[in-house]
Amino acid sequence: MIGEWINRWLPTPASAHAAKFDSVLAATHTEGALIFLSWLVLFAIMLVKFRARPGVAPGKPAGQRWPLVAVAAVVLGDVWLLAGSALPAWFERARPVPAGAAEVRVIGEQFAWNFHYPGPDLHFGRTTPSLITAADPIGIDRSDPAAADDYVLIGILVVPVNRPTVVHLSSKDVIHSFTLATMRVKQDVTPGLPVSTWFTPITTGSWEVGCSQLCGLGHYRMRALFDVRTEEEFQAFVADEVSRLTAP
């Protein structure tokens, strides 16, 4: 239908929940277009039919009831969109994260995304604002044993395909909005209010992380790379990053 046709312009849907979210968009566009276009046809006919003509007396006004069909159609359409499409998809996303997910902490700042990985021990080391320096933008406390194998990437997020990834989001300064267009992930990152979201990529590929909330003069360039790799490539990437930590 009309909505599916419009959806061809969306960024490639590449996560497990993308198809469902896209179908909500398609449904709203289809409903909206049907109502709007049928209304437009009626409107156009009326503009011609009821134009003032010399010597022609105006006709009778419309009946009291039949035009309310339009209102009924909109009510039914709204209920259908909410109950049949949007809310089920919305609540499905609120379910707990499946087991075995990869975890990344994402720390936004003017105008960069920092990605903190827990390393092979799967535990995030402590971070402290007072340890923040230009070289360590998130202030990892290396005295914490859990921090020993942690590594930080600036400007590139790498995740495995076909496995859920949980992103724990926080901001150092102002509100940012973590955006993975192809994953249908967008989450405001408000300082002081850490929040998590998750997604499961279903194809490998190279896309981008964006910022969707005005965060200052460099907002337009707050972009990072986003790589979805096979599980083997991802494990090799983890091993490579950890080996760099221990290298002199």
For the bound state, the minimum distance from the C-beta of residue 67 to another protein, rounded and expressed in Å, comes to 4
Site for another protein in 27-46 (CB under 8 A): 28-29, 31-33, 35-36, 39-40, 42-43, 46
Listed in sequence order, the residues at least 6 apart from 227 whose beta carbon sits closer than 8 Å to its beta carbon are: 156, 157, 158, 159, 205, 206
Asked if 247 interacts with another protein (CB under 8 A), we say: no
For the bound state, the minimum distance from the C-beta of residue 184 to another protein, rounded and expressed in Å, comes to 6
Site for another protein in 156-215 (CB under 8 A): 172-175, 177, 179, 181, 184-188, 190-193, 195, 207-208, 210-215
Site for another protein in 62-91 (CB under 8 A): 62, 64, 67-68, 70-71, 74-75, 78, 81-82, 85-87, 89-91
Using the minimum distance from each CB to another protein, give the nearer residue, 63 or 100. 63
Q: How far is CA 195 from CA 19, 134, 169, 178, in A?
A: 24, 25, 5, 11
For the bound state, the minimum distance from the C-beta of residue 239 to another protein, rounded and expressed in Å, comes to 29
Using the minimum distance from each CB to another protein, give the nearer residue, 68 or 239. 68
Asked if 55 interacts with another protein (CB under 8 A), we say: no
Asked if omega into 91 is within 30° of 0 (cis), the reply is no
Q: How far is CA 163 from CA 90, 124, 199, 200, 228, in A?
A: 20, 19, 8, 6, 10
* Cα 149 from Cα 133, distance rounded (Å): 19
To the nearest 10 degrees (0 to 180), the angle between helices 68-81 and 18-49 is 170
Interaction pattern, residues 122-151, with another protein; x per rule: CB under 8 A: -------xx-xxx--x--------------
